A and B are shown apart, each in its own frame.
Chain A
Amino acid sequence: MIAPSAYLLLSAILFGIGVVGVVARKNVLIILMSVELMLNGVNVAFVAAGSYLGDAAGGVFAFMVMTVAAAEAAVGLALLIALYRLKETVDITELKVLKW
């Protein structure tokens, strides 16, 4: 039996890598992937906590997040393709029209 803290540590590491990816990377595709990483980090925490407490709600919640993440990925990738067709770039630092 692995201690719950180990799962939570993994979760935090995954989430942290995701956050750094979102904040620091320029490629929109990488940013979307980083968001997925963050979501999955959270999922690990849910499942671990559900297992530890003997509560099925944690697993159910993880499935919910996966569903939403799938939908989000579909929409996000569609937007990404539309964006690329329009601007011929996926570099987020070049997409800064929306400002003062």
Chain B
Amino acid sequence: MVNGILDYLWLVPALPLLGVVLNGAIALFAERPLLLKEAAGHVDSHGGHHEAPAYRKLVAFIAPAVVGAAFVVALLCVLSLASRPADGRTFVQILFPWIQAGSLLVPAALQLDPLSSVMALVVTGVGFLIHVYSVGYMSHERAFARYFVYLNLFMFAMLTLVLANNYLLMFVGWEGVGLCSYLLIGFWYEKKSASDAGKKAFVANRIGDFGVLLAMFLVFWTFGSLSYTEVFAKVPLLRESGVLTTGLATAITLLLFLGATGKSAQIPLYVWLPDAMEGPTPVSALIHAATMVTAGVYMVARSSALFLLAPDTMMVVAVIGAVTAIFSATIGICQTDIKRVLAYSTVSQLGYMFLACGVGAFTAAIFHLMTHAFFKALLFLGSGSVIHALSGEQDMRKMGGLRKYVPVTFATMFAATLAIAGIPGLSGFFSKDEILWQAFSSSHGSPVLWGIAALAAGITAFYMFRLVFLTFFGQSRMDPEVEKHAHESPWTMTVPLTILAVLSVAGGWIGIPAVLGGGNLFEHWLAPVFHPAAPMAASHGAVAAAGAHGAEAAPHHPAALEIGLMALSVAIALCGIGLAYFLYRVRTAKPAEIAKAWPTLYDVVYHKYYIDEFYEWAVIRRIVNVSTGLWQMFDALFIDGIVNGAADLVRAAGDRVRRLQGGVVGGYAFSLLAGAVLLVGYILYRSVVQ
């Protein structure tokens, strides 16, 4: 079979890697010496931004170009894949044998199937737009090349993650994106809070990674392989023979989900994501909204065959998703930092995706992942444009009335806000409503889950419109100095905003549900990935099967119910918007009054339910105490005691022996003589005795 363009699939991750090498060389050999010279005080040669060194232009070209090229290759590959029959849409490209140890055979292999193609297109597409945006946003940044090295490296790691054909290679990408996340959160490492946030993100992720690692051991132990194609093909067989018990499947999937809670910022490991806002705003858009944080959702969807065998895990996933959705949405209400509102919104929306996974609606999860990537990336980039316009101001209390200063940013952000609020016709509506419907109708779902999710949707609409009203409407609360410089961003920033706005509006049209007269192309596209699992699961419980067939479970419910629930959720969203309008446009004094009326409640929510403080007290303090104890007792006393003891012993012995060497040559000569006499005497004695 001729694969055509698919044989060039390896170019998709390789192109960003090329960018890393080229930009890395520039960063090391051109930029670093310059920055070091500057730090040493030779600023005279480097007066202002207008004397930008030539390498910046090169970097500004290479970094977006390699990602754009990767997007083109990915698009061609996906088109080629789409021309195949539906059951043949899995393409595996083995690059080279990577690890061969006993029965463990892990090749470096890429896999393109409907699921990874959605991810690859979203990652490269949104990634390309954000790279272009970054060129404008970071134009005043000194470490320009270093920034783009990290960004390209992130793209490489993320594409490795989504295109890998086995868990181990995916894990390489998984760790790689974690590293890049750390590097980029702490990009302004001179700032203590930024480097602390980087460390926090890294440590929280490590806890999750531990789960993924254990899950991989279990998978290899059970299946004897780590490759997706082999593992999922063996599931029915091992299920039949009783090797793959429900308990084992639960253990594997719970451990995988632990990893997902770390990477995708779910309860209990979500605390790092809001702090991650210390990084540059395009990084928040790319890593902490559109791509990396969705890796957990991708992994759960990828392992859907295993998750469907573990009803307990499914319930855990659904409950954690729903609780995270509403929990972080409520925190979002009280935040005043524009980026932190969006961060909690991201945590909340990721909760929706896990809710969808937990009720077996993996298609809906990936659909929401995609639309969320569009509108949340747009919201972050828009907030970046606002921050850029206001010379770095992030506090919404010092904004207001920005509509007339940044019209493009306002229009695009408003479109994204409508999309995330779930206004009918926009992308967020279709994906969120699909999740709500599945949460209600799927056999894993329940009206309670629907109620929580719908309420969270209302809160989402509220805090998002609060953000828009506070930022763009009303009287200006800006510093006069800042207001004087307020300006619309350059084209490198507004063009990506516009494209993302179009996608936020229209991106949902590929998944219009049947009940609204749509073809739901998206579900058909992903069907080969999620549905082959169904017949196998069907023989072991209709529960799992119905979950996989979320859409097929729908016939039990009349279409009128689906439409009715849809209308209800829209009504809830409109209530949220109306409330935001009332509180932040009509009676602007009211929010402060409410905060004063319930000071305790406001305080608790404003301080994010004191979760960080609780973790500090419950976990971090303990670990620090134990570590301090180990350091002082075991390390300082025991280990150092052995080492120092050995040294002391040798020193004491030497102190005695050195007295023999007195420096008087006569003494040495006498010793020589005495030795010779003894030796000769001994020889004579021996000869006499014999």
A64 within 8 A of B: no
Q: Is A53 an interface residue (CB 8 A)?
A: no
Q: Which residues of A contact B658 (CB under 8 A)?
A: 100
Q: Are B659 and A95 in contact (CB under 8 A)?
A: no
Q: Contacts of A23 on B, CB cut-off 8 Å? A: 666, 669-670, 673
**Residue B662 at the A interface, CB < 8 A?**
yes
Minimum distance in angstroms from A19 CB to a CB of chain B? 6
- Interface check B665, CB cutoff 8 A: yes
Enumerate chain A residues within 8 angstroms of B663, measured Cβ to Cβ: 96-99
- Please, how many angstroms separate the alpha-carbon atoms of A23 and B675 in the complex? 14
Residue of B nearest to A22 (CB): B669
> Is A75 at the interface (CB under 8 A from chain B)?
no
Residues facing A in B655-690 (CB within 8 A) are 658-659, 661-666, 669-670, 673
Contact: A19 with B673, CB < 8 Å? yes
A74-B12 Cα distance, complex, nearest whole Å:
83
**Residues B673 and A24 in contact, CB atoms below 8 Å apart:** no
Please give, as numbers and ranges, the residues of chain A lying within 8 Å of B673 by CB-CB distance: 19, 23
- Residues of chain A lying within 8 A (CB to CB) of residue B670: 23
Count CB-based A-B contacts (< 8 Å): 26
Q: Across the interface, do A100 and B664 meet the contact criterion of CB distance under 8 Å? A: no
Minimal beta-carbon separation of A57 from chain B (angstroms)? 22
In the complex, A17 has a CB within 8 A of chain B: no
Q: Which positions 77-100 of chain A face chain B at CB distance < 8 Å? A: 92-93, 95-100
Residues from chain A with Cβ under 8 Å of B669 in the complex = 22-23
- Contacts A19-B673, A23-B673 given; indicate if A96 touches B662 (C-beta within 8 A): yes
Q: For chain A residues 13-61, which have a beta carbon within 8 Å of chain B?
A: 19, 22-24, 26
Q: Which of B624-659 contact A (CB under 8 A)?
A: 658-659
The residue of chain B having its C-beta at the shortest distance from the C-beta of A98 within the complex is B663
Residues of A within 8 A of B659 (CB): 100
* B669–chain A nearest beta-carbon distance, Å: 5
A100 → chain B closest CB, angstroms: 4
B158 to chain A, nearest CB (A): 65
CA distance A95 to B665 in the complex (A): 8
A98 to B664, CA, bound (A): 9
Report the bound CA distance from A24 to B673 in whole Å.
12
Is A99 a contact of B666 with CB atoms below 8 Å?
A: no
* B661: A residues at CB distance < 8 A: 99-100
Assembled-state Cα–Cα distance A96/B667 (Å): 11
A19 to B673, CA, bound (A): 8
Separation in Å of the A17 CB from the closest CB of chain B?
13
Q: Are A24 and B665 in contact (CB under 8 A)?
A: no
Query: Which B residues lie within 8 Å of A92 (CB)?
Result: 664-666
Contacts of A97 in B (CB 8 A): 663
Once the chains bind, are B666 and A93 in contact (CB under 8 Å)? Answer: yes
Give the residue name and chain of the B residue nearest to A20 (CB).
B673
**A10 CB, nearest partner CB in chain B, Å:** 19
Instruction: Give the nearest-CB partner of B659 in chain A.
Output: A100
* B161 CB, nearest partner CB in chain A, Å: 65
- Tell me whether B664 and A96 are in contact (CB under 8 A): yes
Q: B654's closest neighbor in chain A, by CB?
A: A100
Cα–Cα, bound, A98→B667 (Å): 13
Q: How far is the CA of A97 from the CA of B666 in the complex (A)?
A: 14
Q: Least Cβ distance of A38 to chain B in Å?
A: 11
Cα–Cα, bound, A24→B666 (Å): 7
CA A24 to CA B662, docked complex, whole Å: 16
**Chain B CB within 10 A, most for which of A26, A95, A99:** A99
Chain B hits for A93, CB < 8 A: 664, 666
Contact check, A99 vs B665: say whether CB atoms are below 8 A apart: no
Which of A23, A92, A93, A95 lies at the interface centre, i.e. has the most chain B CB atoms within 10 A of its CB?
A: A23
Q: Using Cβ atoms and an 8 Å threshold, which residues of chain B touch A98?
A: 663
Interface string of B123-164 (1 = CB under 8 A from A): 000000000000000000000000000000000000000000
Q: Which residues on B sit within 8 Å (CB–CB) of A19? A: 673
Residues of A near B665 (CB, < 8 A) are 92, 95-96
* A95 proximity list for chain B (CB < 8 A): 665
Q: Give the distance in Å from the alpha carbon of A47 to the alpha carbon of B566 in the complex.
A: 127
Give Cα distance in the complex from A79 to B664, angstroms: 18
Minimum distance in angstroms from A25 CB to a CB of chain B = 8
Residues of B with C-beta under 8 A to A100: 658-659, 661
Cβ–Cβ < 8 Å partners of A99 in chain B = 661-663
How far does the alpha carbon of A47 sit from the alpha carbon of B659 in the complex, in Å?
Answer: 43
The distance from the CB of B652 to the nearest CB of chain A, in whole angstroms, is: 14
Tell me, rounded to whole Å, the shortest Cβ–Cβ distance linking A86 to chain B: 16
Output the least CB separation between B416 and chain A (Å): 81
How many whole Å from B343's CB to the nearest CB in chain A?
Answer: 68
- Distance in angstroms from B673 CB to nearest chain A CB is 6
| Docked complex Cα distance between A100 and B657 (Å) | 10
In the complex, A98 Cα to B668 Cα: how many Å? 12
Give the distance in Å from the alpha carbon of A26 to the alpha carbon of B664 in the complex: 10
Which residue on chain A has the smallest CB distance to residue B655? A100
Residues of B within 8 A of A26 (CB): 666
Bound-state CA distance A92–B663 (Å) is: 10
User: How distant is B232 from chain A, measured CB to nearest CB, in Å?
Assistant: 75
CA distance A99 to B663 in the complex (A): 5
Expressed in whole angstroms, the Cα–Cα distance for A92 and B669 within the complex equals: 12
A26: nearest chain-B partner, CB-CB? B666
Interface string of B275-307 (1 = CB under 8 A from A): 000000000000000000000000000000000
Looking at the assembled complex, report how far the CB atom of A98 sits from the nearest CB atom of chain B, in whole angstroms: 6
CA of A99 to CA of B661 in the docked complex: distance in angstroms? Answer: 6
Question: In the complex, what residue of chain A is closest to B657 when comparing beta carbons?
Answer: A100
CB distance from A87 to the nearest CB of B (A): 13
Interface centre among A24, A92, A95, A100 (most CB of B within 10 A): A100
Give min CB distance, A54 to chain B, whole Å: 25
Residue of A nearest to B662 (CB): A99
Question: How far apart are A90's CB and chain B's nearest CB, in angstroms?
Answer: 12
- Nearest-Cβ distance from residue B11 to partner chain A, whole angstroms: 71
Q: What separation, in Å, do the CA atoms of A28 and B659 have in the docked complex?
A: 24
B44-57 Cβ-contact flags toward A at 8 Å (1 or 0): 00000000000000
B666: chain A residues at CB < 8 Å are 23-24, 26, 92-93
Cα A97 to Cα B664 with chains together (Å)? 9
A95 closest partner in B (C-beta):
B665
In whole angstroms, what is the CA distance A100 to B661 when docked?
A: 7
**Binary interface encoding of chain B residues 207-251 relative to chain A, with 1 for a CB under 8 A from any of its CBs, else 0:** 000000000000000000000000000000000000000000000
Q: How far is the CA of A62 from the CA of B221 in the complex (A)?
A: 85
> Closest B-chain residue to A34, C-beta based?
B669
Tell me the complex Cα distance, A72–B684, Å. Answer: 31
Interface residues of B (CB under 8 A from A): 658-659, 661-666, 669-670, 673
Jot down 6 A-B pairs with beta carbons below 8 A, ordered by A: A96-B665, A97-B663, A98-B663, A99-B661, A100-B658, A100-B661
The 3 closest A-B pairs by CB, nearest first: A96-B663, A99-B663, A100-B658
Residues of chain A having any CB pair with chain B under 8 Å: 19, 22-24, 26, 92-93, 95-100
Kindly list 15 other residue pairs between chains A and B, CB separation below 8 angstroms, not including A96-B665, A99-B661. Answer: A19-B673, A23-B666, A23-B669, A23-B673, A24-B666, A26-B666, A93-B664, A93-B666, A96-B662, A97-B663, A98-B663, A99-B663, A100-B658, A100-B659, A100-B661
